[in-house]
């Protein structure tokens, strides 16, 4: 039987996709994290695995709005690096 995969919306381009095709960003009482395995507790926001969507999310403050938290510049720097290293497109 096929496993059911729920859909989530990218906070960059706003497209809805199966969540296993997206990168989860988690927020909990310890901070904001890149949650590659989608297992961290807390609130989650999702991004397509494309630099373009990260760029859009930054511009539109999609992560801030979705996670209801201020995203430090350092975290965006980390995301930039993560996308550059992992998602070449």
Residues lying near Zn ion in the complex (CB under 5 A) are found at 10, 12-13, 48, 53
Give Cβ neighbours of residue 1 (< 8 Å, ≥ 6 apart): none
Q: Least distance (Å) from Zn ion to the CB of residue 24?
A: 13
Q: Least distance (Å) from Zn ion to the CB of residue 4?
A: 22
Q: Least distance (Å) from Zn ion to the CB of residue 55?
A: 10
The smaller minimum CB distance to Zn ion, of residues 52 and 77, is found at 52
């Amino acid at each position: 039987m096929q496993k059911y995969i729920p859909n989530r919306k990218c906070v960059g381009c706003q497209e809805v996709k199966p969540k296993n095709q997206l990168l989860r960003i988690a927020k909990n009482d310890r901070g904001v994290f890149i949650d590659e395995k989608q297992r961290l507790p807390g609130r989650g926001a999702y991004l397509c695995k494309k630099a373009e969507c990260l760029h859009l999310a930054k511009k539109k403050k999609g992560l801030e709005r979705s996670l209801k938290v201020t995203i430090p510049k350092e975290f965006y720097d980390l995301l930039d690096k993560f996308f550059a290293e992992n998602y070449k497109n």
